[in-house]
Structure 1
């Protein structure tokens, strides 16, 4: 018996080895390199290997000295990123839950469910940049939305905040990433035993009571997984902020991109490590709400 267990244990290790190597080469090694570079020094021409905390001090130099302008910029940048993250998370959760609920409980035909679910994935068939640029002729000063508003007499002049603003950034984020919320929530809802809903109805529960006390708790795992997807993507995104914000709105990802363009790789690496720590903290808080490994 012990020999059999030992053999099966060795076989399991061999089966996990390829994925472990992939995880090591494409995740741990690059992450370790970024962390290492964050402690290097640099000048206008090159990186200087060594060990220094200068980059981390520069990131929060205004905060450490107190009351400086840099402190305001750094603090507002992280707050701006968290603001976008919270807004996009709330909107994608609301839309994703509603769409998933409709597909799972109101569409009876499996074939129709599949067709509608595939329609939800259609945006992934094109590039993110193309989907963002598609909003420009709609929301621009002379775009279709402004033309319609002026034609209907709702406004006298074009609405400026529709494009290259926080509104357009959040709109693009929701458009791009709602599917990341729909998929795990829909998967969780499809695994709910329908007899539980019948039991709740037989006990006199209303539709809202069933939703709140039965469906929502049983969909918690999908909500957490979708939240992790959306939050991690939005926190590090810089392309959407740059395109839809007209290069006028700051985010941590945008700052890192600008620093790398100026060859300030150690400083960008330090910002990336801090951003990673913030994201990991958020993920840790989310995973405390449910044991994902147990629920999956």
Structure 2
């Protein structure tokens, strides 16, 4: 056996932009085998064979094999090593933004609405998720496309690796802010409902969007009202010391200073329903032109 064959299948990439891609520029598929000298790869590493979909990270190869790979195939190894650096949380380099032939205004015209982020913040039990659902339903009934990013829901998937420590909460907000920005760019009215206790983190998300496209909604509900509701039983656990770093108990909540919408509920006014709160937000969106194409 003269060497180790590594299959490097390349997916077809098509571009509809005139002058880029197209049938005239499409290359026939190739198996693309690369032959590596057997002497440079330890026997125990010959199992390092990529399948038709992916190539195993360089971290799966020992140091001597890695050195041989970088020496014999610098272009290939540079790509793989860079992947390792990214996985090691170093900042990605040599990346270029690729512009789309369809812009935000095109998508907004198609949807007959303007993309924005409605960021609902407040204490646990203040009614954020309930109002978010009511808002989404009311806008849907008006023929408007929305998507809700609920704090708990996102922690089931995208942010399942994060805790409730301060630094992880900051990262949680950052990720959700970036996702919300993408929805707004599509032309969707993105509703983000999460405690987001720190003002600096909310302001950082605001800075991701064009001026006016971040609508901060403050659920101004007193702590004693939220605690009396305690729909998840979390306040009880926090008071008993079974939950540490719980917002409003042993971790601060920084209320917005200059938010776009404030929804007050003292607990005495039963007439202030989630639907009415949602209508208050819709009135703001309507006045700012977000419900028009």
**TM superposition score normalised by structure 2:** 0.21
Which one has a larger percent strand, Structure 1 or Structure 2?
2
Greater helix share, 1 or 2?
Answer: 1
* TM-score normalized by the length of structure 1: 0.21
Greater Rg, structure 1 or structure 2? 2
